[in-house]
């Protein structure tokens, strides 16, 4: 077991990422995990709402780093691996798969959301808020993509949030230390081993266009390699990817 930063728990909060941002802008740097039993204004990627009901897990790691912002963004893949480990611990090896960039799917449905935010500190370093939301007991029904919870795949009750965050924080620290000492290569390799859809056709919805092609793999900076129908290779650095495209 790896030693992980301390965990602070709230009964209710607007957003664990928002709390991390407030602390960062007030000069705090962590590292500290901020968790809440319930979020009233949780957010996902691209400003989407992410609700947290009682029984689910909302957790954000507030930390600081000396690396550039583009490199620090690789922690989203570290978070995905840690969340995948949590799912496999609770549901059995192979229950969770990863979909680019950082969706964690449990038996094909989304069960984890990840949002990494950052900002500059007066000392020139970056503060980071690594937010992870896990559907332990409940899954939303009004989402564009099919969602699930750990509870739907367990014979008994799902893990309590307080227990789940201990596993999550421990696994995050294991992967973070590997990233810190050996770079992104072993993270990319571990992510690829659990990836869903590589070698399959997909639709990549980018901010200003939509592309169709075959997902070939992930580059060493985290970009997705998409082979277009005309043979051209496109590197996708931001967007949503949907598999099963015609």
| Cα 75 from Cα 56, distance rounded (Å) | 22
Q: 228: domain range?
A: 201-243
**Whole-angstrom distance, CA of residue 139 vs CA of residue 198:** 26
pLDDT tens digit sequence for 71-113: 999 999 999 999 999 999 999 999 999 998 888 999 999 999 9
Most confident of 86-90, 155-159, 217-221: 86-90
Residue 44 has pLDDT above 60, yes or no: no
Together in a domain, 90 and 155: yes
User: Does a structural domain hold residue 82?
Assistant: yes
The string of DSSP codes covering 66-116 is SS-HHHHTTHHHHHHHHHHHHHHHHH-TTSEEEETTTEEEETTEEEEEEEE
Q: For residues 59 and 79, state if they share a domain.
A: yes
35 domain residue, yes or no: yes
Count of beta carbons in the 10 Å neighbourhood of residue 7: 16
Least confident residue range of 88-92, 124-128, 139-143: 139-143
Residue 229: which CATH number? 2.30.30.100
Beta bridge partners, 41, equal: none
The number of domains in the chain is 2
pLDDT at 246: 58
Better pLDDT: 12 or 49:
12
CB-CB contact of 184 with 220 (8 Å): yes
CB 4 within 8 A of CB 33: yes
- 210 and 187, same structural domain? no
């Amino acid at each position: 077991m790896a030693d992980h930063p301390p965990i602070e728990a709230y009964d209710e909060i607007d957003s664990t990422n928002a709390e991390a941002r407030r602390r960062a802008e007030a000069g705090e740097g962590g590292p500290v995990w901020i968790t809440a039993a319930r979020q009233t204004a949780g957010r996902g990627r691209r400003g989407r709402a992410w609700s947290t009901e009682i029984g689910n897990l909302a957790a954000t790691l507030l930390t600081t780093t000396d690396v550039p912002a583009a490199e620090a963004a690789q922690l989203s893949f570290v978070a995905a691996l840690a969340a995948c480990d949590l799912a496999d611990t609770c549901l059995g090896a192979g229950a969770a798969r990863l979909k680019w960039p950082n969706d964690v799917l449990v038996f094909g449905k989304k069960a984890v959301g990840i949002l990494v935010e950052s900002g500059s500190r007066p000392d020139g370093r970056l503060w980071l808020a690594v937010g992870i939301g896990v559907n332990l007991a409940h899954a939303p029904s009004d989402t564009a993509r099919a969602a699930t919870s750990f509870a739907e795949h367990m014979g008994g009750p799902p893990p309590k949030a307080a227990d789940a965050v201990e596993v999550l924080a421990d696994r995050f620290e294991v992967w973070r230390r590997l990233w810190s000492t050996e770079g992104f290569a072993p993270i990319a390799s571990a992510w690829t081993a659990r990836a869903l859809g590589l070698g399959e056709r997909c639709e990549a919805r980018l901010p200003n266009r939509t592309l169709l092609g075959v997902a070939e793999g992930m580059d060493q900076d985290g970009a997705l390699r998409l082979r277009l129908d005309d043979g051209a290779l496109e590197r996708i650095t931001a967007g949503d990817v949907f598999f099963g495209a015609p």
